[in-house]
Amino acid sequence: MNTPNLMFAATSSSSGKPKLTVEGVSVTPTFIYAKRFNGGIGIKLEVCLTLSIDTMVTPTTKSSLKIELSAAFEEEIAVGFKVDVDDKWDGIILEELDVTVSVDIQNYTSVSVGAKIYTVGETEKQKWEALSDNYIGSKASPKTRDMIRQIDKLANKLDVLMKTGEPDEEGILDKIKALKNQLPKVEVGGVEYSVDQLEAALGAKDISSSFNEVFSAKTKPEAKVGLEQLMNRYTEMINQESQWVEVFNKELFEKEFHIKIIAIKISLNFIVRAHVNIALGADIEYEVGKRYTFWIHVFEKEAGSSEIDLLDERFGFQFYVMGTLGLKVGIKAELAVGIISTKIASVGANVEFGPYVKLYGYFVYIYQKLRPANTQSWNVSEEMLGALYIDFGLYITVNFKAQAFDDKFVYEPTLFDGEFPLLTVGTRQNVYDFSFHPDKKDILYIDDEDADSSTGITMSLPQVYRGMQTIDLVTGQKTQKTYSFDNYHVTFNDSRFSINSKGVIN
């Protein structure tokens, strides 16, 4: 999947309020020649935009909400002409003149958009900047970004081969090594990092290829490996370091009054916080090829035209989203006590409380429409896969706060931070596959449990056949679990066997 990268970034003012700024815009055109069609020409346009929303958590610590957006457009067209002239003479007299003109037009169009949204703490900010500036963001060279995408696709293919036990006949591993050797290393905090090390530290892998592996699988083992890769990507994203970031802070009330030399300040603020770690994207492809033929019989004053397909007409659409999204909307009440003025120095506490909502999960939708050349019927396929879990409740955070010189120096430890769920929607433990995959060589022997065939031959279905692979949508932890038999639908292709509601084979 050809997905360029786009990013959101921001700086904050001394007041600590979030502020959005644009860091860079990159537009990269690439001319195409004979990529899909003989003699075809076209253009590929890649657009990247970098933005950031930064918030000062303390006077020295910054947290950021980042969004990497991307858009790519590709168009290739091939046009061919053929002219035939058939003439018939009687001496010097022209009796017949037939002219036939054929025009071949082939066209391919694709549009790809993607976004990765996440929150980043100060400790990982330098690594994100290094990865974006040198490898995947708008400041990275188009050649480097293209090599990163090639490596991601090849790595997924290699993973499938390794897990299915097939040989690497195409030399995929060597291709990956050759591409990686061309990528530069970067220094972060005095330590040298490769792109692999940065991606491992930040969980920044492209997930679009993981969705492709699930639906492009041609065999059951390949489908199983692709699905497992998808779950691994989900686990990586959920465990990626991210923080709650303040995206809106509006003062509702502030009052300072004095009792002799003691200054007391009371304030109320409306606050919105976000915890975002999402990857999403969409791709559209369309391909068509036609031959238009025009003919004219000059002397007969006859003309006509015809149309045939040169290739199958194909349309495809894919959408995917994966990750977690959280919002907190609350009121922050603060009480501060100081001498003469609370701006000079103060001690006190603040309480923040309100509702929260958290969404976890993944979803992919693929639609394909194909019309074989020179036919009128369309073959349509539609596939989707996903799971969603929603947690809604109330949160409360209590902090002790000591500050000096109008928050230039702050000590603010958390005394209590709790969440109280009120409602959940969906299933947190998502079942995505069987844990046991028998092949054609596996045989299930029916062993009569009471060793008395006169009463019939019966045996309970072994538990291994009910083992399921599950993933916790909140933590990303994968486990195996066996469910009660009423959750399964079992059939036999031999009418001599049956199974009852308790899982006993007869």
What contacts 144, CB < 8 A, 6 or more positions away?
134, 135, 183, 184
Q: What is residue 329's predicted lDDT score, i.e. its pLDDT?
A: 93
pLDDT range class, residue 204, cuts 50, 70, 90: low
Residue pLDDT, tens place only, 358-384:
999 998 888 889 999 999 999 998 888
In whole angstroms, what is the distance from residue 410 CA to residue 347 CA? 10
The average pLDDT across 16-22 equals 58
- For residue range 268-307, list pLDDT tens digits in order: 999 988 888 888 888 889 999 999 999 998 888 888 999 9
Residue 213 pLDDT grade (very low, low, confident, very high; cuts 50, 70, 90): low
How far are the Cα atoms of 52, 98, 353, 475, 477 from residue 324, in angstroms, in the given order? 19, 68, 21, 10, 14
The pLDDT of residue 311: 92
Residue indicated by tokens 């999403």: 280
pLDDT above 60: residue 258? yes
The pTM for the full model equals 0.69
Calculate mean pLDDT across residues 98-113.
90
Instruction: Give the mean pLDDT of 454-475.
Output: 85
- Interval 55-60 mean pLDDT: 59
% of the chain exceeding 70 in pLDDT: 83
Tens digits of residue pLDDT in 406-426: 777 778 888 999 999 999 999
Residue 203, pLDDT score: 57
For residue 405, pLDDT over 90 is answered with no
pLDDT at 372: 94
Q: Which long-range contacts (CB under 8 A, 24 or more apart) does 415-420 make?
A: 415/349, 419/356, 419/393, 419/394, 419/395, 420/393, 420/394, 420/395, 420/396
Q: Please, what is the average pLDDT of the chain?
A: 81
**Which pLDDT score, from 0 to 100, does residue 442 have?**
77
- The reported pLDDT for the residue numbered 64 is 67
The predicted model gives 223-241 an average pLDDT of: 76
Averaged over 103-126, what is the pLDDT?
A: 79
Structure confidence at residue 473 (pLDDT): 93
